[in-house]
Amino acid sequence: MRAVNANAHAGTDIWATEADGPEGLDGGVELAVSTVIFALRPHPESGLMTLWLPLVKRIREPYLGQWALPGGPLRPDEDLETSARRTLLRTTSVEPRYLEQLYAFGSVERSGTDAPRTSGPAQPSSPPPQPETAEAARVVSIVYWVLVQSDEAARAVDGENVQWFIADDLPPLAFDHDEIIAYALWRLRNKLEYAQIAQGFLGGEFTMAQLREVYEAVLQRRLDPANFRRQMITSKAVEPTGRKVTGTSHRPPVLYRFRTRIGAAAPEHVPRVRSRSAAAPPPGAAPAEARSRPAHDPHRGPGPDGPYHDPGTAGPAASGITPDLGTRTRPHTEGPVRR
């Protein structure tokens, strides 16, 4: 790669060859930035750590009164990421521990009115005739996903129109936000397996059990403590701080920290790693790149990353899609298996 113009930026991406005259410059297309914010909190019933996210109640017509993702129009003097951070602050008053662009949603149909929108996932097909409601301008939403530390999120009380919900059990949502969230969830779960984003939910120091709890909560499956520890240690992702936790009524656990901090904004390129059965992503909605896992997330900037997973097809190299991390479900607290 020969970066001739080092640090080139700016970019109008011009229709260089187009002899097009004034041509409709985004006539009527608005740009919004939305955010999917994740935090871990104990489940009200089981008490197990679970994924939660905040939604805001709409106070305008299209979908008035329904729940939607926090977001807003992009300001002319504001970067996309900055806009996402501003939304985060505004709705939850907490700082992001991890932030990354998810995807740009721009179907013509995903406009304002909750009209027809016939059926079937966003298939290529032909542009369906617009519903009656003529107004409602077209909006392209660039969505970011964010991780916030659990205890921080706990402090932030729900505001007037803001409320936290369990990510896997949401109320009816406005627009295509259910698909967006499904995609974000998929990305989070996928990326957790190859990138060190778990620290997005943790503080600077933590025990192996806490780290494992994050993985178990996000991946929704139990992990073998012994294998999990070894993998985290041998992967060089974490290192012991030397300190311990006392007063636990059992052997005092050692505290660990991540060797490298994850940023919160640029596009990144992550090396893919593994993946379990690669649960097919939500059929309808989301972006493409995400599968993969990509691994990666340099600037958190561009790119869906990676290693995301595909709708179903494995890849050539995908021959051995095998489990990973602490693997197996292990008896744990249920049944008289062990001992």
> Which partner in DNA, a second copy, none is near 330 (CB below 5 to 8 A by kind)?
DNA
CB 66 within 8 A of CB 266: no
**53: which strand partners?**
165
- Burial of 134 by CB count in 10 Å (0-12 exposed, 13-18 middle, 19+ buried)? exposed
Q: Give the number of other CB atoms < 10 A from CB of residue 63.
A: 18
Q: Which does 190 bind (CB under 5 to 8 A by kind): DNA, a second copy, none?
A: a second copy
The total of other beta-carbon atoms located within 10 Å of residue 29's CB is 13
Q: Closer to a second copy by CB, 73 or 252: give it.
A: 73
| Cβ contact 105:36 at 8 Å | no
**Spatial separation of the C-alpha atoms in residues 134 and 208, rounded to whole Å:** 56
C-alpha span between 293 and 278 (Å, rounded): 10
Work out how close the CB of 205 gets to DNA at its nearest, in angstroms, rounded to a whole number. 12
How far apart CA 248 and CA 118 sit, in angstroms, is 57
CA angle 262, 86, 156 (to 5 degrees): 80
From DNA, a second copy, none, which one binds at residue 40 (CB under 5 to 8 Å depending on kind)? Answer: none
Binders in 233-272 for a second copy, by CB under 8 A: 234-238, 260, 262-272
CB of residue 147 vs a second copy: minimum separation in angstroms? 12
Q: Which stretch binds a second copy (CB under 8 A): 41-49, 196-204, 247-255, 329-337?
A: 196-204
Query: Cα-flanking dihedrals φ and ψ of residue 279, to 5°?
Result: -50, 130
Question: Any contact of residue 31 with a second copy (CB under 8 A)?
Answer: yes
Residue 243 CB, nearest distance to a second copy (Å)?
21
Specify the residue, 115 or 245, whose C-beta has the smaller distance to DNA. Answer: 245
With CB under 5 to 8 Å by kind, the binding choice for 45 among DNA, a second copy, none is none
> Which residues sit at the interface with DNA, rule CB under 7 A?
207-209, 224-227, 229-231, 234, 244, 246-254, 274, 317, 319-320, 322-330, 333, 338-339
For position 62 contacting a second copy by CB under 8 A, the verdict is: yes
CB of 213 to DNA, least distance (A): 9
Q: Which amino acid is at 67?
A: W
**Residue 28: CB minimum distance to DNA, A:** 50
- The answer to whether residues 288 and 300 touch, using CB atoms and an 8 Å cutoff, is no
Contact of residue 295 among a second copy, DNA, none (CB under 5-8 Å per partner type): a second copy
Cβ distance to a second copy smaller for residue 91 or 149: 91
Identify the DSSP state of 119: S
Burial of 123 (0-12, 13-18, 19+ CB in 10 A): exposed
| Choice between 37 and 295, CB closer to a second copy | 295
Q: Which among DNA, a second copy, none contacts residue 204 (Cβ within 5 to 8 A by kind)?
A: none
